[in-house]
Amino acid sequence: MTIKDIFERFDRIGSCTFATVDGDYPETRIAHFLAHDDEGLYFMTMTTKPFYRQLKETGRVSVCGLGASSAVTQREDGLLEMEPGYSIRVSGDVREVSMEEIRAKNNPAFDYCIEDVERYPAMTTFVLYRAKGEIFDYDFDMLHRDHKLERERFSFGGFPVEKAGLTITEACVGCGKCMKACTFKAIRREGERCVIDGSRCDECGNCWKVCPAGAVRHKGA
């Protein structure tokens, strides 16, 4: 995914959760990305806020959002129901961008930054310039396709990305119990063994629980 693709997914959601660390504790607030270019994703805050201090002290932020609806209902059978949608998250390194830099871009996408600083002089802009993230496109009731999840990991600015999903090792004896346990339809047979399609895997752990050979490698500590 390009930075533009990532921006558009966040922009479709609008307000998202921005997390930073303040000393020993994480803190969150609602904000939004307002622009993008080849360097990264841009957002604003005020220099008088804890958010600003935390960004300057740590140089890091993590952002997530949920679209199209955050409504979760409970069915008669007790299971939770969410209409199809996606969540997206991104975490990485930020730097403050001066107004001189913003003006020099000569890019209409940044007009809002310039206007906002005129209205609120304590406003300042940050760019998320090196990051990794993931999109979870879910359809838990399989209304529009025959599997629940399509996930895609991405990065920009040279951030390394870990492969999504659990994995099955060579210890697999091909009994097929994991396939039956996987409600995400993420496991298929390949020759004598089973393999996991990481783009469909929710990392729920059902396959790890039932495997008699200890062949499923999970990501827990």
Q: Do 164 and 198 touch, CB atoms closer than 8 A?
A: yes
Q: How far apart are CA 36 and CA 189, in angstroms?
A: 42
Contact residues for ligand SF4, defined by CB under 6 A: 165-166, 168, 172-178, 181-182, 184, 186-187, 194, 196, 201-207, 210-211, 213, 215-216
Strand partners, 123: 46
* Residue closer to ligand SF4 (CB basis): 117 or 175: 175
CB of 185 to ligand SF4, least distance (A): 8
Q: Do 21 and 27 touch, CB atoms closer than 8 A?
A: yes
Calculate ∠ Cα 176-78-137, nearest 5°.
Answer: 60
Tokens of 165: 């999903």
CB of 217 to ligand SF4, least distance (A): 10
53's CB contacts (< 8 A; 6+ apart) are 22
* Residue closer to ligand SF4 (CB basis): 155 or 199: 199
CB of 203 to ligand SF4, least distance (A): 5
CB of 151 to ligand SF4, least distance (A): 10
Q: Do 124 and 44 touch, CB atoms closer than 8 A?
A: yes
